[in-house]
Amino acid sequence: MHSMLTCNARNFRLFALARNRRFCPQVPPPVLLRTASAAAGPPFFCRRSVPSPAPTAPPRRFHTSPRRSAAPAPLLWLLLKPLQKVAAMLLGRSLRKWWNALPENRRELMREWVLRRRWPLTGGVAVAVVLVALLLLTHLDETPLTGRVRLPLFSREAYLELAALTAEGYLEEFAEHLLPDSDPLHQMVDQLVQVLAERNKDIPKVSERPWSVHVVKNHQINAFVLPIGKVFVFTGMLDAVADADQLISVLGHEMAHVILDHSAEQASLSHIVDLLSLLLLTAIWAVCPTDTMALLGGWVKDKLAELMFHRPYSRKLEVEADQIGLQLAAKACADVRAGPVFWQQLEITDRLSGEPSLPEWLSTHPSHRNRTAQLDRLIPQV
């Protein structure tokens, strides 16, 4: 494998050399002599003749394939995630069938072997856990404004590449529903976003990226911001807000997600939970006597992971974005009291429409009532 990689690297260098330089004799360029004279004025250049080289055969053109960039790490993880799950299921199922095919005396011998070496095995597992814990502790990071400790697994550059691909997909999906830049609604949203960016330019993650606005003609009450600074606002959101102060509060909340790198943080948590889930899924398929019970156990495992890790963590990040978003809106001279009023309006709208609302522990976002109370507590601080 090492020799193959070395050979590929050598070939790549040759291809790069061939792309930049053609395989032909080098012709010396004409030499320019710089002369100057006090009476003649400014210096000028004259050409010195150089002997022409002997005629040669036409140079061979060396064609190379276009350069291709590697896929971002988060995208590769998303693509490999189903395959990892299938591999864990097959591994557990193979272990179960292998164990059931063993004669009873072999099983007893293996049990005795494990019992005799239980302390060395336990020590090995403990050492592995300590090493993994130390590795994770050395990669801890803090959020830029709140100082909360977190564990990012993906680099910011890789996630920005993924965000660029995501933006291209959204622009293609909403191409027929985007309002033109000359539309008054687009101009209003763009002006508010630029005010937020200008008043908060002391924050590096605000000033280091360009903020662009895309207004989508859609009745959904939705708005989101991608990590590369592309702001998407649905016209349903513009119909739901009562004034510019409420819209600034919403935009500040969405921009806070970007400033705090919440999308990369959620992907890192999902990656850690999924890796642990693979071990548990392998054990489930190895222990359960039938495939049906193993499928049921895997489904229960997925639901528990969703309710115990993903959704509570998502609600935590939403509360943090509410806090920072309120600070961004206050620095933009918006009336921050409009933020909790907006969520009260949404709560009343949901009640009047008769739509059933999920309990907060089943949702990825705090309830409208709890969100309003949280914002009311934060207003005196900002």
What are 242-255's pLDDT values in tens digits?
Answer: 999 999 999 999 99
* Catalytic annotation, pick one of 112, 168, 254, 360: 254
What are 5-39's pLDDT values in tens digits?
Answer: 344 444 444 344 444 443 334 444 444 434 344 33
- For 164, the enclosing helix (H) or strand (E) is helix 156-173
Q: Residue 300: pLDDT band by 50, 70, 90 thresholds?
A: very high
pTM over 0.85: no
What are 343-362's pLDDT values in tens digits?
Answer: 999 999 888 888 777 889 99
What are 54-105's pLDDT values in tens digits?
Answer: 444 444 444 444 444 555 666 676 778 888 999 999 999 999 999 999 999 9
The residue-averaged pLDDT of 215-224 equals 95
What are 111-167's pLDDT values in tens digits?
Answer: 999 999 999 999 999 999 999 888 888 888 888 899 999 988 877 788 888 889 999
Backbone angles phi, psi at 58, to 5 degrees: -60, 140
Delimit the domains of the chain by residue range. 89-139, 155-264+314-379
Maximum CA extent, the chain: 110
Count the Cβ atoms, other than its own, within 10 Å of residue 318. Answer: 21
Predicted pLDDT at 13: 42
Q: Annotated catalytic, 306?
A: no
Cβ pair 77, 271 in contact under 8 A: yes
Mean pLDDT of the chain: 83
Q: Assess whether pLDDT exceeds 90 at residue 295.
A: yes
